Amino acid sequence: MDIGITKDQAIKNSISLLTEIKGVGEKSAKAMITHLLSMGSTKITEYIKSFEDLSFFTGQCPQCHNFSQAGQLCEICSNTHRDFSTLCFVKTYEDIEAFEKTGTYNGVYHVLNGLLDPCEENANLHNLTYDTFVNRFKTNLELKTIILGFDGDLESSYTKSWLKLNIKGLAETFKRDIKIFTLSYGLPPDMEISKADEITLKTALDNIKEIV
C-alpha cells in the first residue's frame, strides 16, 4: 500500500510551516499540532477549508495593501467619503484597525508591510510597498498631507527619516506641495500602535507635528 509520506514526516512538515508564522516557535508549533491531532480529522478538514477560503477570498488592496476582498479595493480606498488628500503610512494592517477605532481619522492609508532595518542598509526595502506608494503619489494629484503613523522605536524612526527624504525628493521632482507630519505627542516611545488604547491614539492623531 502506498502510504505517501510517513506520519512523522507529515508532523514535521506541519510544525515547520507553523514556525514560519511570526511569534510561533517550535515548541508552540508542536503543541498546536498535538492539539489538532487530538481533535481528529474532521476538525483538521475544517481548518483546511477555512485556510482555503482565506486564500481564495481575501487579498491585498492594490492601492494601499490593506486586506480586501480578493481582486478589489479595500473598504477605505473604495469609500468616496474618505479624504484622499491625506494619507497615513502604517506598518501593518493592524495599525489601520487601531486608527479606525479612534473614529477621528478620515483620510486614507498606505500599509508599508514592515519597516526598514537601519542595521541592514535597507536590505528589506524590496519587501516594503514604497513602489506602490510612488504610483499613488503620481496619480493622486489631490494628495497634500502625509502622516507617518509609526511607533517610536529605532526602526520606526529610521523608516520615518527615509520616507521623509524620499517623499520630499518626489515632491520636488513632480513640483508638488506636500506636507509631512509625524505623531509627535501622546504616544509613548515604546508603545506599538496596534496595542495602544483609543484615547492615546486619538491624542496622537490630534497632535500631529509637521516635519520640515
Residues that bind Zn ion (CB under 5 A): 61, 63-64, 66, 74, 77
Three-state SS letters, the chain: CCCCCCHHHHHHHHHHHHCCCCCCCHHHHHHHHHHHHHHCHHHHHHHHHHHHHHHHHEEECCCCCCEEECCCCCCCCCCCCCEEEEEEEECCHHHHHHHHHHCCCCEEEEECCCCCCHHHCCCCHHHCCHHHHHHHHHHCCCCCEEEECCCCCHHHHHHHHHHHHHHHHHHHHCCCCCEEEEECCCCCCCCCHHHCCHHHHHHHHHCEEEEC
Q: Give min distance, CB of 93 to Zn ion, in A.
A: 10
Is 64 or 196 the residue whose CB approaches Zn ion more closely? 64
Is 66 or 102 the residue whose CB approaches Zn ion more closely? 66
108 φ/ψ angles, rounded to the nearest 5 degrees = -110, 175
Is 19 or 60 the residue whose CB approaches Zn ion more closely? 60
Is 61 or 146 the residue whose CB approaches Zn ion more closely? 61
Q: Give min distance, CB of 74 to Zn ion, in A.
A: 3
Q: Give min distance, CB of 151 to Zn ion, in A.
A: 22
Residue type (1 letter), 47: Y
Q: Give min distance, CB of 173 to Zn ion, in A.
A: 25
Q: Give min distance, CB of 51 to Zn ion, in A.
A: 23
Is 15 or 137 the residue whose CB approaches Zn ion more closely? 137
Q: Give min distance, CB of 60 to Zn ion, in A.
A: 8
Cα–Cα dist 125/162, whole Å: 11
Cα–Cα dist 38/126, whole Å: 41
Is 77 or 163 the residue whose CB approaches Zn ion more closely? 77
